Amino acid sequence: MNKLIIRELHNMPYEPVWRAMQAFTDERNESAADELWVVEHPPVFTQGQAGKEEHLLAPGDIPVVPVDRGGQVTYHGPGQLVVYFMLDIRRRKMGVRELVTAIENTIVDVLAEYGVKAAPRPDAPGVYIGPEKVCSLGLRIRRGCSFHGLALNVNMDLSPFQRINPCGYAGMIMTQTASHGGPTSVAEAATKVTATFAQLLSYSEIEATTGLPEAYV
């Protein structure tokens, strides 16, 4: 099974997509294809399993959703590309660290196409342009399968990040690709990121579709 389905969800609220991710992961079998879910979310803070309340400085009118991924608190909002990695990593004989590295390398490679030098950091998962964070990363593995994924800041209002300690780091400065000559739209970034990831993991068959799987709508 070397097929990858790229599922475009457009703009959807966070919680229904999260619940669908959980159900998809719990119910998939060994013949289910891997999928990437591509989405933009309305403004929301998500608090990972290790999340500490002190990192929520002033959420105000933006809802906070406690979730089952790794990591601390982050922000999702319009103009940010979110990709969820619904992969059977046991079938691919991948470890979690390998998957994290593949995701980070995908973003580094995409930005390199635009002449933007970016890199991961060993002490704080994600991808950085200099000292500024452009891409956050948080995963969950269940039954040998991954869900959750990355959030790449493309062309958005970054001010809500000032209401939190992003990913649990006080003073972490967030940036976006549009500020560095990178992708300026979520659609452009999504095309590049999904294609680069598929190539990096050598998927031989790619299928594009839209909307959540029917069983989880």
Catalytic center residues:
167
Nearest alpha carbon to residue 212 among 68, 1, 12: 12
Specify the DSSP element, H or E, that contains 119. strand 119-121
137 is in an annotated binding site: yes
Q: Does 95 count as an annotated binding residue?
A: no
**Strand, coil or helix: what is 159?**
helix
Residue 151 annotated in ligand binding: yes
On whether 128 is known to bind a ligand per the annotation, the reply is: no
* Residue 56: DSSP 8-state: B
For residue 154, give the DSSP letter: -
Say if CB 71 and CB 148 are below 8 A apart: no
Cα 117 to Cα 99: distance, rounded to the nearest angstrom: 21
Regarding beta strands 64-66 and 124-129, do their DSSP bridges make them parallel or antiparallel, or are they unpaired?
Answer: unpaired
- Does 204 belong to an annotated binding site? no
Tell me: is residue 138 an annotated ligand-binding position.
yes
Tokens for 208, please give them. 């594009």
**Is 9 annotated as a binding-site member?**
no
Known binding residue 182? Answer is no
Question: Is 70 marked as binding a ligand?
Answer: yes
Annotated binding residue at 81?
no
Label residues 118-128 b or e (16+ Cβ within 10 Å = b): bebeeebbbbb
Q: Is 47 annotated as a binding residue?
A: no
The two three-digit tokens of residue 152, written as one number: 């790449």
Asked if residue 39 belongs to a known ligand binding site, the reply is: no
Closest of 184, 150, 183 to residue 167, by C-alpha: 150
**Known binding site for substrate: residues?**
69-76, 136-138, 149-151
**Known binding site: residues?**
69-76, 136-138, 149-151
